[in-house]
């Protein structure tokens, strides 16, 4: 009997029953695998870490995208760093204000595996989507005031995604955004202590670079601990301003096919349990 096991705390982790291995390739950057599971649909794993399953990916992608796009008053140009499975692009493209999405994925293998084995996840055929297979960090560093929203949909902070958690990258995002720009990024599980230093580092970088910065949470069963943190940095508008909440209510009515995000979820996601808030208290490391 096949099983996928991911150990994120010594001998503690996640087990998923596997029916078959659909895809397994060592690319120039990482090992990319897709499994057919018993209960979660097809599951993509990179370097032994769950990226998404067909059944729970909506939580991650809706929450990485919609709080940020609701915060911006009129998002037209959106940049996605990573996100080669296309799920974040699918959510961004639900917004009718969006005219252009640049998706920059370092590893074409992720795109190929997703197109073949997670065909309902991505929205690769939308003419507003432009796919670049190159290093997202270099791409961002070459932009200045070009985007309304940047979505950082990287893997975990080991391997090619490590740089996405560095202060220099957050600075580059700030520079790549227009004057009312917003960045949204995934920032790991509050339950995995080995990630706390990295989480605090990104938070400190956002906090010292953007006018507003907030951490928010969602619940994703196949990610370590089931609780996942994300962060927003915004140059002008706070993600909980009344206008943002109104926009969020409009999106709830107009975007269609939302399975997680709504106005109340937007508001509630920024309420942090004490043990999570404490992770971000600076301890002079
Ligand atoms: N260990 C989970 C980290 C997931 C980060 N990105 C997921 C990619 C889905 N588009």
What pLDDT is recorded for position 283? 63
> 190, 227 in Cβ contact below 8 A?
yes
DSSP 54: T
- Tell me how far the alpha carbon of residue 156 lies from the centroid of ligand 1, in angstroms: 7
Q: What is the model's pTM?
A: 0.96
- Tell me how far the alpha carbon of residue 46 lies from the centroid of ligand 1, in angstroms: 9
What pLDDT is recorded for position 134? 97
> 88, 149 in Cβ contact below 8 A?
no
Question: Tens digits of per-residue pLDDT, 225-240?
Answer: 999 999 999 999 999 9
What pLDDT is recorded for position 158? 77
CA angle 171, 50, 117 (to 5 degrees): 105
The Cβ of residue 105 has, within 10 Å, a number of other Cβ atoms equal to: 25
Q: Give Cβ neighbours of residue 150 (< 8 Å, ≥ 6 apart).
A: 78, 79, 80, 81, 140, 173, 176, 177, 181, 182, 183, 184
Question: Ligand 1 pocket, 51 CB below 6 A?
Answer: yes
**Cα–Cα distance between 62 and 44 in angstroms, integer?**
18
- Give Cα 42 to chain centroid, integer Å: 19
Among 8, 11, 5, which Cα is nearest to 192's? 8
**Residue owning tokens 């996605």:** 80
> 139, 104 in Cβ contact below 8 A?
yes
* Active-site amino acid positions: 153
Task: Copy the structure tokens of residue 90.
Answer: 């699918």
173 burial class (0-12, 13-18, 19+ CB within 10 angstroms)?
Answer: buried
The Cβ of residue 23 has, within 10 Å, a number of other Cβ atoms equal to: 19
> 228, 199 in Cβ contact below 8 A?
no
pLDDT in tens, the chain (285 residues): 799 999 988 899 999 999 999 999 999 999 999 999 999 999 999 999 999 999 999 999 999 999 999 999 999 999 999 999 999 999 999 999 999 999 999 999 999 999 999 999 999 999 999 999 999 999 999 999 899 999 999 988 777 778 888 899 999 999 999 999 999 999 999 999 998 999 999 999 999 999 999 999 999 999 999 999 999 999 999 999 999 999 999 999 999 899 999 999 999 999 999 999 999 986 655
**Cα–Cα distance between 141 and 144 in angstroms, integer?**
8
Mutate to test the pocket of ligand 1, among 13, 14, 155 (most ligand atoms within 8 A of CB): 155
**Can you tell me which atom of ligand 1 is nearest the CA of 61?**
10
Question: Ligand 1 pocket, 153 CB below 6 A?
Answer: yes
Q: Give Cβ neighbours of residue 183 (< 8 Å, ≥ 6 apart).
A: 68, 149, 150, 151, 152, 170, 173, 174, 177, 206, 210, 232, 233, 234
DSSP 164: G
């Amino acid at each position: 009997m096949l099983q996928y096991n991911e150990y994120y705390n010594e001998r503690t982790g996640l087990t998923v029953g596997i029916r078959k291995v659909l895809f397994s390739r060592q690319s120039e950057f990482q090992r990319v695998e897709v499994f057919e599971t018993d209960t979660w649909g097809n599951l993509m794993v990179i370097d032994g870490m769950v990226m998404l399953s067909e059944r729970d990916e909506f939580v991650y992608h809706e929450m990485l995208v919609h709080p940020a796009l609701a915060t911006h008053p009129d998002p037209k140009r959106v940049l996605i760093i990573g996100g080669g499975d296309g799920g974040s692009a699918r959510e961004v493209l639900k917004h009718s204000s969006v005219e252009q999405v640049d998706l920059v994925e370092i590893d074409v293998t992720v795109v190929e595996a997703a197109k073949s084995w997670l065909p309902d996840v991505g929205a690769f055929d939308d003419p507003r989507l432009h796919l670049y297979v190159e290093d997202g960090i270099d791409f961002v560093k070459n932009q200045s005031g070009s985007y309304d929203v940047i979505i950082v949909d990287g893997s975990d902070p080991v391997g090619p995604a490590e740089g996405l958690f560095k202060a220099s990258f957050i600075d580059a995002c700030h520079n790549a955004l227009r004057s009312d720009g917003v960045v949204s990024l995934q920032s790991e599980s509050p339950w995995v202590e080995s990630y706390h230093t990295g989480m605090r580092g990104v938070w400190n970088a956002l906090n010292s670079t953007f006018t507003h910065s907030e951490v928010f949470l969602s619940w994703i069963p196949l990610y370590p601990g089931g609780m996942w943190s994300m962060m927003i940095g915004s140059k002008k508008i706070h993600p909980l301003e009344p206008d943002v909440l109104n926009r969020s209510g409009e999106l709830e009515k107009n975007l269609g096919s939302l399975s997680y995000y709504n106005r109340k979820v937007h508001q509630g996601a920024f309420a942090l349990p004490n043990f999570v808030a404490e992770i971000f208290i600076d301890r002079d490391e």
